[in-house]
Amino acid sequence: MDFLSLALSTIAGAFSLLLLFKLSTKKLFNSSYPPAVGSIINEIINYRRLYDYHTDLCRNYRTYRLLYPWSSEIYTANPANIEYFLKTNFSNYEKGRSNYEIMSDFLGDGIFTVDGDKWRQQRKLASYEFSTKAVKDYSSHVFTKNAAALAHKVSEIAAPNKVIDMQELLMKSTLDTIFIIGFGVELSSLLGAEENGKAFAEAFNETNALIFWRYVDFLWKFKRFFNVGAEAKLKKSIQTIDELIYKVIHSKRKLISTQDHSNKADILSRFIALSEKEPEKITDKFLRDIIINFMTAGRDTTAVTLSWFLSMVCRNPQVEEKIVEEVRESVKQGNEEERVETIEEFANSLTDAAMDKMPYLHAALSETLRLYPAVPLDGKWCVSDDTLPDGFKLRKGDGILFPAYAMGRMTYLWGENAEEFRPERWLENGVFKHESPFKFTAFQGGLRMCLGREFAYRQMKITAAILLRFFRFRFKDENKKIKYRTMFTLHIDGGLQLLAFPR
């Protein structure tokens, strides 16, 4: 956290809110609007525990407001409200200009920042690419190969009392996977030395955190203009990322100029093939933005979910044993009693049919996402005055957000045992049962629902099955409390320090 910014932002925020209070007292206390229970100052003060702060508020209010200098931020844990602004009245809720200004230095004109025609064009292209059989088959092959490589890496490192940062290993594995599936290149061949790869990953993580800090930093534009403080760090991190991304694009274009890549399964090759038909639209900058958004969606979300999953398995050994038994049973061939021994043999046995026999693993991953959603807070901006299904009003320019992390802990949504890790809540007579995407919001819902949901589940199930089949994980320190780092995606602060024992 930038503590100079914290002090300056607090002063500026206090002044702005005092002015806002004087100008609009009637609106602040108008019962037509959600109750005002705090301000941006509260978010700054609680920044290190931001998602728990919203959890505290959600226990008392299903819909509430935090006051910002120029608008209100509406938070709702009401599934009816969420369905309304994500689906029913979708056209009245956008990512918004303010959101674009904050995120575009990093994500550019990618699918996570834009609205209107730009969003529809990318959504249509991405939807088609994700639905092709070639991409599905290719991705499954890469998931299996890279998960096996990860297991070998754990095996190499594992030793008595040897601590492994599994979050770091998972981040590297998912990044390698994204480069192969998305861009058709090996990350190691581009970066060379291991240290360069580490620098790139650190730059990506730092950018994620610093961009998110902008949402509560009143002075971020000032600091960006003068290139000081957090903004100077952010600029340097983005430069590190861009150097590699443009290297990928240029090397790929060079390959395609000498070879026919139109039928290649990797997504970048297919987008570059399209650029020959629409060169004015699909520029290098457009491809850069596509890549960054694709990496953000595919690398962080899967890796952090698997990290929290392993932490839950360590805390719940009875869940671990059920998963291991299910995984072993799912890959038996006919009546054979012998189980596959090598990592490669086991990985190759994880066919679609075998994965379909793992509802408990699927449930355990969903339960992880319920309590530790990869994107813990998300929302939109209101285009014109509106009224939510619960009767509360919004004004043009108000933010409307759903706190996914908090929602997973609400007893009024998930029952009295809401804060317990219970994969069984997702099963009915041994069959996985789906929840409304407006209650279980890990993949959003409506027209912006995550296109890579099935890909994410497949990759997570393959990786989890291989890791738990061959290793038993335990915490380095059983008494240490695991905390998150406040950023767009729910990273474990300080990594996940585990011991790995061959099974």
Q: Among 67, 43, 114, 102, which residue's Cα sits nearest to residue 220?
A: 102
Rounded Cα distance, 135 and 125, in Å: 13
Q: Is the pLDDT assigned to residue 23 strictly greater than 50?
A: no
Task: State pTM to two decimals.
Answer: 0.92
For the chain, percent of residues with pLDDT exceeding 90: 66
Residue 193, Cβ density class (10 Å: 0-12 exposed, 13-18 middle, ≥19 buried): exposed
Report pLDDT for 22.
44
Rounded Cα distance, 433 and 417, in Å: 18
32 vs 14, residue with greater confidence:
32
- Residue corresponding to tokens 């998972």: 170
Confidence of residue 118 (pLDDT cuts 50, 70, 90): confident
Rounded Cα distance, 226 and 204, in Å: 22
Rounded Cα distance, 110 and 77, in Å: 27
Spell out the residues 6+ positions from residue 463 whose beta carbon is closer than 8 angstroms to its own: 143, 147, 150, 170, 173, 306
List the beta bridge partners of residue 400: 74, 380
Distance between first and last Cα of the chain:
40
Report pLDDT for 137.
84
Tokens of 287: 């491809």
For 3-502, give the CATH class.
Answer: mainly alpha
Average of per-residue pLDDT values in the chain? 88
Mean pLDDT of 73-97: 97
Q: Are the beta carbons of 379 and 399 closer than 8 angstroms?
A: yes
Mean pLDDT of 187-194: 61
Q: Are the beta carbons of 270 and 289 closer than 8 angstroms?
A: no
Mean pLDDT of 462-485: 95
Tokens of 118: 């730009």
Report pLDDT for 256.
76
